[in-house]
Amino acid sequence: MSSKPHQIIGNSTALKATLAKAKKVAKTVLPVLITGESGTGKELFAQFIHDQSRRAQKPFVAVNCAAIPAELLEAELFGYKKGAFSGATSDKDGLFVQASTGTLFLDEIGDMPLPLQAKILRVLQEGEVRPVGAKAVQKLDVRILSATHRDLTQMAADRKFREDLIFRLKGYAIQLPALGERGHDIVKLARAFLKSREDFAGIGLSRDAQTLLMAYHWPGNVRELQNIILAAAVDARRNIFAEHLAEHLPDAIDVEDPSMSVRERIISALQESGSLALVDLQSRLKTPKPTIHRHLTSMVAEGDVSRSVVSGQTLFALAEPNVEGDVPQLTQRQEQAVALTREHGRITRQELAEALGISIRTASRELSTLVAVGALAPDGQVGRMAGYHVQRNRLKSR
């Protein structure tokens, strides 16, 4: 339970842009369709739009269309008259009427059965509802918000969702970013979840736990983060460490080396495969496409990665290492790293971090850069055991 209900946590660029849209549309009575992966906060945003609207003091009624059996959904939404069916022992207002003058939030709208879609369309078009078994219609004044994690346009193409209903629902569209696109919000959210719980008061997040949180791809988004943080907090004493989290993470991550950043994982995937398309990188790294794309764009700009189009498909590969005569400018620290590697014959991230007095994450980054410029070569081992040696004849000292 959150101490501040409906507070939307995060100040990443992606989240702020979405919040700004939500605030603007809240001032109107346009229907809003909120899309985004499961657990990204669609219901929270719906509540936020209502709270920011002129209807804030009026009812906010939410219904999960996927949770109510199809045969009950109609009566639930439109209400019914006594005797309309067996079990209808008295008149009952439907959710449309209960939300009157306020907001009705149709969650998981993509799961609404087709016959009911037609009825909803009629209600939205005509602004009136007829309870099951009633002769008369009731006028409505309801603002409609809806949400789905499904691709309604694709569903319409597959004839599973009515296109005309999409137009009615989508007066304005808000697409929520996946958690993996929200950068440091992940740690902010994790802290907020711990703080909001009396039973976990005082439990902190160690550095390695934060690094792991940032490195994980969060297929279940904020809901998954919340579950995992709270489960890890049960095992922790004062601080949550990476191993507490790792125990509860369902998907593979290089837990041995949580400092492996998206860039490092891109480099390692390209080292293994030669060249890959964006979609291959996405499935290997289990990281959202926009995140990988953002990194790839700057890696191409920095000359670490090359881009080519083969049979209409864009492929990415590690850029050719520098050859003699085209000597990259290394920083002093990078030169020290090369010298240390030469001295030891082979070096790991941990050894480099210790020798230079830097964090493992920074050491990893420096090693990746040195691999990308052709100064060092990896020895093929993974995680904490990964070692690097000097790439002979590739680099001249400055």
Ligand X SMILES: Nc1ncnc2c1ncn2[C@@H]1O[C@H](COP(=O)(O)OP(=O)(O)OP(=O)(O)O)[C@@H](O)[C@H]1O
Stretch touching ligand X by CB under 6 A, among 7-15, 77-85, 210-218, 264-272: 7-15
Strand-pair partners of 62: 105
Shortest reach from residue 46's CB to ligand X, in Å: 8
* SS3 readout for the chain: CCCCCCCCCCCCHHHHHHHHHHHHHHCCCCCEEEECCCCCCHHHHHHHHHHCCCCCCCCEEEEECCCCCHHHHHHHHHEECCCCCCCCCCCEECHHHHCCCCEEEEECHHHCCHHHHHHHHHHHHHCEECCECCCCCEECCCEEEEEECCCHHHHHHCCCCCHHHHHHHCCEEEECCCHHHCCCHHHHHHHHHHHCCHHHCCCEECHHHHHHHHHCCCCCHHHHHHHHHHHHHHHCCCEECHHHHHHHCCCCCCCCCCCCCHHHHHHHHHHHHCEEEHHHHHHHHCCCHHHHHHHHHHHHHCCCEEEEEECCEEEEEECCCCCCCCCCCCCHHHHHHHHHHHHHCCEEHHHHHHHHCCCHHHHHHHHHHHHHCCCEEECCCCHHHCEEEECCCCCCCC
Residue among 103 and 348 whose Cβ is closer to ligand X: 103
Angle at the Cα of 299 from the Cα atoms of 382 and 175, rounded to 5 degrees = 95
39 makes contact with ligand X (CB under 6 A): yes
Binding track over 60-99 against ligand X, x by CB under 6 A: ----------------------------------------
Q: What distance in Å separates the CA atoms of residue 137 and residue 119, rounded to the nearest whole number?
A: 13
Shortest reach from residue 224's CB to ligand X, in Å: 9
38 makes contact with ligand X (CB under 6 A): yes
Residues in 206-225 that interact with ligand X by CB under 6 A: 222-223
Stretch touching ligand X by CB under 6 A, among 4-12, 113-121, 195-203, 258-266: 4-12
List the one residue from 26, 43, 296, 305 that touches ligand X (CB under 6 A): 43
Binding track over 186-205 against ligand X, x by CB under 6 A: ---x----------------
Residue nearest to ligand X (CB): 41
Number of residues that bind ligand X (CB under 6 A): 17
Q: CB atoms < 10 A from the CB of 13, how many? A: 12
Are the C-beta atoms of residues 96 and 123 closer than 8 Å to each other? yes
Q: Which residues neighbour 8 within 8 Å (Cβ) at sequence distance 6 or greater?
A: 15, 19, 41, 44, 45, 48
Residue among 100 and 221 whose Cβ is closer to ligand X: 221
Residues in 98-137 that interact with ligand X by CB under 6 A: 107
Shortest reach from residue 192's CB to ligand X, in Å: 6
Shortest reach from residue 374's CB to ligand X, in Å: 42
Residues in 8-27 that interact with ligand X by CB under 6 A: 8-10
Residues in 218-277 that interact with ligand X by CB under 6 A: 222-223, 226
Residue among 188 and 384 whose Cβ is closer to ligand X: 188
Shortest reach from residue 146's CB to ligand X, in Å: 11
List the one residue from 40, 211, 268, 348 that touches ligand X (CB under 6 A): 40
Shortest reach from residue 64's CB to ligand X, in Å: 7
Amino acid at 308: S
Binding track over 144-183 against ligand X, x by CB under 6 A: -----x----------------------------------
Shortest reach from residue 18's CB to ligand X, in Å: 9
How many Å separate Cα 232 from the centre of its chain?
20
288 makes contact with ligand X (CB under 6 A): no
Residue among 103 and 364 whose Cβ is closer to ligand X: 103
350 makes contact with ligand X (CB under 6 A): no
Shortest reach from residue 222's CB to ligand X, in Å: 4
List the one residue from 14, 22, 35, 42 that touches ligand X (CB under 6 A): 42
Shortest reach from residue 340's CB to ligand X, in Å: 43
Residues found near ligand X in the complex (CB under 6 A): 8-10, 36, 38-44, 107, 149, 189, 222-223, 226
